[in-house]
């Protein structure tokens, strides 16, 4: 149960912080190698790029959890009550379907890359490893979006607004 709780509450954030530290260290090595030593290892730039790809996809899942994705609410704000709740729900369901599409075709990309045996130029890592960020990040988004759908359905509209205000207050403090 603790493992599930860790993955639900802390995994994405811990992953993003640790990979950011690693990426900064790699880029620092690249800069020091280039300007101080006159010769920088090529693998640091490539590894930092692949780490960044993972950060983007896992970060997308984390942003769903924190409700930090960009959203245009001008249309939705024209409505209130049940109509607004239905529109919110419809938007999240469509987004979830898109994330499922990305997870499916991202998995196909990983499998094709695995079968082809393609390797990265500098560090010779199999290319399916960087590509694996697409289906895993998309799957994370699907899980977070399902959590959001359940929240929207279970919470009455009026208290849902109060709940969201309380969430914002908690984040500020």
pLDDT in tens, 95-112: 999 999 999 999 999 999
Enclosing H/E stretch for 136: helix 133-154
Query: Each residue's pLDDT tens digit in the chain (173 positions)?
Result: 788 888 888 899 999 999 999 999 999 999 988 888 888 888 999 999 999 999 999 999 999 999 888 877 777 778 888 888 899 999 999 999 999 999 999 999 999 999 999 999 989 999 999 999 999 999 999 999 999 999 999 887 654 455 555 555 666 66
Distance CA 59, CA 51 (A): 12
- Paired residues of 126 in beta bridges: 119
- Paired residues of 157 in beta bridges: none
**pLDDT tens, 33-53?**
888 888 888 899 999 999 999
Yes or no: say if 152 and 85 are a contact pair by the CB < 8 Å rule: yes
pLDDT for 170 equals 63
pLDDT for 159 equals 45
- Closest by CA position to 129, among listed 141, 114, 115: 114
């Amino acid at each position: 149960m603790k493992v599930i709780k860790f993955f639900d509450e802390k995994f994405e954030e811990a992953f993003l912080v640790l990979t950011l530290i690693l990426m900064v260290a790699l880029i620092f090595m690249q800069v020091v190698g280039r300007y101080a030593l006159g010769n920088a290892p090529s693998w640091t730039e490539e590894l930092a790029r692949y780490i960044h790809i993972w950060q983007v996809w896992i970060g997308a899942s984390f942003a769903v959890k924190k409700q930090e994705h960009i959203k245009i609410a001008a249309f939705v704000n024209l409505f209130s009550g049940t109509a607004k709740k239905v529109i919110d729900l419809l938007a999240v369901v469509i987004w979830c379907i898109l994330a499922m599409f990305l997870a499916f075709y991202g998995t196909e990309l990983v499998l094709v890359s695995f079968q082809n045996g393609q390797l990265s130029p500098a560090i010779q890592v199999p290319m399916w490893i960087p590509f694996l960020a697409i289906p895993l990040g998309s799957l994370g988004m699907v899980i977070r979006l399902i959590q959001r759908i359940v929240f929207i359905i279970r919470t009455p509209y009026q208290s849902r607004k109060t709940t969201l205000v309380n969430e914002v207050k908690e984040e500020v403090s």
